[in-house]
Amino acid sequence: MLKWWQRTIVYEAYPSSFMDTNGDGLGDLQGLISKLGYLQSLGVGAIWLTPIYKSPMGDNGYDVADYYAINPLYGTMADMDQLLAAAKRHGIKIVMDLVVNHTSSECPWFQASSSGKDNDYSDWYIWRDGAEGGPPNNWGSIFGGSAWTWSEQRQQYYLHTFAPFQPDLNWENPKVRQAIYAVAQFWLAKGVGGFRIDAVPYIKKPQDYANGPVNPATGFAPIHNATANTEGILDFLHEFKQEVQGDRDIFTVGEANGVAAQQLPLWVGKDGVFDMIFEFSHLDVKFADGELWYKTKAWRLTELKQTIAASQANTSSNGWYPIFLENHDQPRSINSFLPEEADPILGAKALGMLLLTLRGTPFIYQGQELGMTNVDWTSIDCFNDLSTKNQYQLALDNGLTTTQAMKVMQKYSRDNARTPMQWSAQPNAGFTMGKPWLAVNANYKSVNAELEAEDKDSVLNWYRKLYSLRQEYEVLIEGDYKELLADSEEIFVYSRSTSTAKATVLINFTENTVSYPAELVEGTDPVLSNYENVQKGVLRPFEAVLYIALIK
Ligand code: NOJ
Ligand code: CA
């Protein structure tokens, strides 16, 4: 028996850019409330809300100052209670983002911890003396520079996997773990439907804090290589599971960059620690060095297919897979997975077909259902994201020209996904009456929800059709996954089967017309295609077709 969250569609909302109702240029909780009907019409059963806690917003909410308070930029606790109640009426659960690896440096826990070595919070973060006049070791943080920052007040260094204002919590301390579980309990009592757990592979550190091999391009040993998925982490997470989830009817999804598909059985399912984890192998195929956006490589479709097949295989009988092609840290999928020549509407539909027909729970990132694309900004000053600024500098330091570096940012900046949601052709895409905190993508007059709602061939209505097909054909939810034509560098083909039905999905990732053995779909009918007049055995550029046959 599948659980509710295995049958539904999850929508990731990035509140800053979703809908602004008070004209300050930043999205808010009332904005979310005003769009619940829209989300319901997409078949969304849960919204993963990126952090809305009180925060100085150095990393747009992933620097939490108070886990028990709502960021006043987004509204009040009364608004949050209203959102939970209104969402419930729409059949939608709210899933909170638990940022557990680190807090903001403005969190009172850190302020107490940095004030001295013998108070109740002294041991809540990771403090070390320096070595040889510098930081304790050579680790470099994910957002650039040393992973250690000196505290004048405490006369020691503290560790931060991300920015200096995001000090890492000390999970070795049971009081820290209890504090995190208490936060989760508070939100559970409010009726949330689950948690997305941020940056979870970093919570455990190897206790020798040894130097690592330096990446010459940054001058540091990447902290990711030193700490991600350190042995012993699962002990912490089993405790988390027991304390937070128990037998509640919620779901947990961990953000687990650094956990390989082959390790999935330890992380999800019966003996695992979460219901699902986001692993990143399908996004990493394009990078030659995960630390450096400018070091990309040409990738082949078979590489992408192999990563997806591995995740499908490792969750086929135990655990479950969260399907995602976009999130608030990734560029838009059309620009990531398809060649530049791709028609954006055909392309968005092709990728939408993949997202909603693989086996697992699809996570739609806001605007993906409209076919939103990357930005073409030409100055670094247009960007807000701190990691974009760091990557731009790294590209320049390593010899790229400003024009070349800008091209890299246009392709990989996290701000590509963070531009305001495109609701209509009104000024600022109908997102705000004021000045948006981040510029709207220039294409909003043709790519927007209002226009697409009226157009039966729009990307938005394609997503709605895929949702209703998932309702109609159980095979799309429960069916086993089997990859077909695995060696093709041009088309992605797979079937989904139960004892009573078989679905076959065919997606052309190229601008060429590609043929395939028509026997694959013999005796079955196309139920959805992004072209008219589907012909068996041939796929036109970026064509995506879903065939379904009922077995009598
Ligand atoms: C992953 C989040 O998705 C990202 O936005 C954030 O910057 C880091 N974790 C640090 O919390
Ligand atoms: Ca606002």
Task: Please write the tens of the pLDDT for every residue from 28-63.
Answer: 999 999 999 999 999 999 999 999 999 999 999 999
99 lines ligand 1 (CB under 6 A): yes
pLDDT at 290: 87
User: pLDDT tens digit string along 448-464?
Assistant: 999 999 999 999 999 99
Give the mean model confidence (pLDDT) for residues 296-314. 95
First to last CA, the chain: 23
Statement: residue 402 has pLDDT above 90: yes
What Å distances lie between residue 480 and 316, 500, 547, CA to CA?
A: 7, 12, 15
For the CA of 143, the nearest atom of ligand 1: 7
- pLDDT at residue number 50: 98
pLDDT of residue 296 exceeding 90 = no
Q: Which amino acid is at 22?
A: N
DSSP class of residue 439 equals: P
Q: Which ligand is nearest to the CA of 29?
A: 2
Ligand 1 nearest atom to the CA of residue 101, by list position: 11
Catalytic site positions: 198, 255
Residue nearest to atom 10 of ligand 1 (CA): 62
User: Does ligand 1 lie within 6 Å of residue 14's CB atom?
Assistant: no
Q: Give me the helix-helix angle, 233-240 and 174-189, nearest 10°.
A: 30
Hey, which residues does 146 pair with through a beta bridge?
A: 140
DSSP conformational letter for 218: T
Which bound ligand lies closest to the C-alpha atom of 201? Answer: 1
Give the per-residue pLDDT at 426.
98
Q: Are 355 and 1 in contact (CB under 8 A)?
A: no
CA-derived radius of gyration, the chain: 23
pLDDT at 436 over 90: yes
Name every residue whose Cβ is closer than 8 Å to that of residue 172 and which is 6 or more positions away in sequence.
207
Alpha helices in 435-485 (DSSP H): 449-454, 459-472, 475-478
pLDDT at position 496 is 98
Pairing relationship of beta strands 93-99 and 156-159 according to DSSP bridges: unpaired
Q: Across the strands, what pairs with 497? A: 480, 502
Quote the CA–CA distance of 310 and 254 in Å, as a whole number. 18
Give nearest CA residue, ligand 1 atom 11.
62
Give φ, ψ of 314 to 5 degrees: -80, 0
Q: List the residue whose alpha carbon is closest to atom 5 of ligand 1.
A: 329
Q: Please give the average per-residue pLDDT across 100-113, as a whole number.
A: 98
Query: Is pLDDT above 90 for 479?
Result: yes
Could you tell me the two tokens for 3? 């659980």
Mean pLDDT of 215-226: 97
pLDDT digits 0-9 by tens, 126-165:
999 999 999 999 999 999 999 999 999 999 999 999 999 9
- In percent, the amount of the chain with pLDDT more than 90 equals 98
User: Could you give the CA distance from residue 111 to residue 121 in angstroms, rounded to a whole number?
Assistant: 9
Rounded to the nearest whole angstrom, what is the distance from the C-alpha of residue 345 to the centroid of ligand 2? 31
Whole-angstrom distance, CA of residue 337 vs CA of residue 191: 37
DSSP class of 24: S
Ligand 1 atom closest to Cα of residue 199: 9
User: Which residues does residue 220 pair with via DSSP β-bridges, in sequence order?
Assistant: 215
Q: Which structure tokens are listed for 541?
A: 């550029």
Find the helix or strand (DSSP H, E) in which 33 lies.
Answer: helix 29-34
Question: 252 C-alpha vs ligand 2 centroid, how far in Å?
Answer: 29
Going along 82-173, which residue ranges are E strands? 93-99, 127-128, 139-140, 148-151, 156-159
Q: Which two tokens stand for residue 466?
A: 């895929």
Q: Tell me how far apart the alpha carbons of residues 436 and 241 are, in angstroms, rounded to a whole number.
A: 39
User: What residue owns the CA closest to ligand 1's atom 2?
Assistant: 198
Q: What is the mean pLDDT of residues 368-377?
A: 98
pLDDT band of residue 210 (cuts 50, 70, 90) is very high
Asked whether residue 111 carries a pLDDT value surpassing 90, the answer given is yes
Tell me if 286 sits within 8 A of 297, measured CB to CB: yes
pLDDT at residue 552, rounded to an integer: 81
**Ligand in nearest proximity to the CA of 387:** 1
Given a contact cutoff of 8 angstroms between Cβ atoms, the answer to whether 481 and 520 are in contact is no
CA separation for the pair 253, 243 (Å, rounded): 16
CB of 162 closer than 6 A to ligand 1? yes
Q: Which atom of ligand 1 is nearest to the CA of 50?
A: 3
Q: Which residue has the tokens 């987004």?
A: 74
* 415: Cβ contacts below 8 Å, ≥ 6 apart: 375, 383, 384, 385, 388, 438
User: Could you tell me which residues are beta bridge partners of residue 482?
Assistant: 495
Q: Are 305 and 296 in contact (CB under 8 A)?
A: no
Name the packing angle between helices 386-397 and 402-412 (round to 10°): 140
Residue 162 is given by DSSP the state: S
Judge contact between 298 and 383, C-beta under 8 A: no
| pLDDT in the model for residue 367 | 98
Structure tokens at 487: 């060696």
Q: Contact, 452 vs 458, CB < 8 A?
A: yes
